[in-house]
Amino acid sequence: MPVSAMYVQPNCTDFKSVARALTIVENDLQGADELLKGLTFIKNAPVIGITGPPGAGKSTLVNALIGHLLAGEKKIAVLAIDPTSPFNFGSLLGDRIRMATHFNHPDIFIRSIAARGSLGGLSAKTIEMTDVLRASGFDYVLVETVGVGQSEVEVAGLADLTFLVLVPESGDEVQNMKSGLMEIADAFIINKADRDGAELFANNLAKIIHQSGGDNTPVFKTVATKDEGLAEVAGYIASAGHKRNSRKEFLLAEKAYRIIQQKRMQDVDKKKLQQEIAEAMLEGPFNLYAFAGKYF
């Protein structure tokens, strides 16, 4: 039986089928296109994006949040994206360690993937794998993205509900945020809120949001390591997760753009590109634009 016929519609009650489908899609194995084109979305599970700068405690927060979302026999999928090294293209994929509490839970599926060179962690493969999870029948799909500055805006092309996670020390960073980064968040989470200055930071952030026109954008204070404040976040997800996203057309356009971009660039191999550049530099004066012109 062809690979595509075996795994057209993975099921959240069978994690092996979900894992195999993700592997086929992630590695572009035979049948990947047919699998994606055959996906149907019955539950229309909301995609929850968790983004923010490194050190904000996103993985710990997701780990604590899962416990609250499990109520009512819900099934949850987590796609944790680790940064890819620009030098050896490797990735630590350490989120499974930080989410070890739920790793063997029968209703929780966790998959770690590399960012594949996308600064915001949103590659076409991330979009495709997220859709596989959505079609598998999970009630919630959580995507934890790499947070490296302005590139968090990329998650707006993936998630139905986006949380921007910050810490009390993020005051100067928030002051310098561009409007685009503020606009992507449906809600803000100040994690590690037991630190000094958390209350002041929360008040200042609320003022900035108000000035940006986000009067209905909530600001949550959490201490993920102590499971404090996560019940409120889970409640917000439950109430807002299935509402129509006002940015739906924008989100779909972003997804389509990434997928088209990947297909058009699939014959460009970064490792081979580095090797060719190294060889070209040895041959004499190197001009980046003349070199890149060979690919146009």
Q: Where are the domains of the chain?
A: 40-247, 266-295
pLDDT one-digit tens code per residue, 12-50: 999 999 999 999 999 889 999 899 988 988 888 889 999
Neighbours of 234 (CB within 10 A): 20
Handedness of CA 181, 182, 186, 188 (dihedral sign): positive
Compute the residue count for the chain.
Answer: 296
Q: Which residue has the tokens 């070890």?
A: 100
pLDDT at residue number 44: 80
**E strand segments, the chain:** 47-51, 76-82, 108-114, 140-144, 161-166, 187-190, 219-221
Element (H, E) at 35: helix 32-37
User: How far apart, in whole angstroms, are the C-alpha atoms of residue 222 and residue 9?
Assistant: 37
163 forms bridges with which residues in the sheet? Answer: 50, 187
Range list of H helices, 136-228: 171-175, 179-184, 198-211
Q: Which two tokens stand for residue 62?
A: 């997701």
pLDDT at residue number 1: 41
User: How far apart, in whole angstroms, are the C-alpha atoms of residue 57 and residue 165?
Assistant: 8
Handedness of CA 198, 199, 204, 207 (dihedral sign): positive
Q: What pTM does this model have? A: 0.80
pLDDT one-digit tens code per residue, 79-123: 988 764 444 444 444 445 555 566 678 999 999 887 655 444 456
Give me the numbers of helices (H) and strands (E) for the chain, helices first please: 13, 7
Q: Was domain 40-247 assigned CATH 3.10.640.10?
A: no
Weakly modelled stretches of the chain, pLDDT under 70: 1-8, 83-103, 115-123, 146-157, 171-183, 214, 241-248
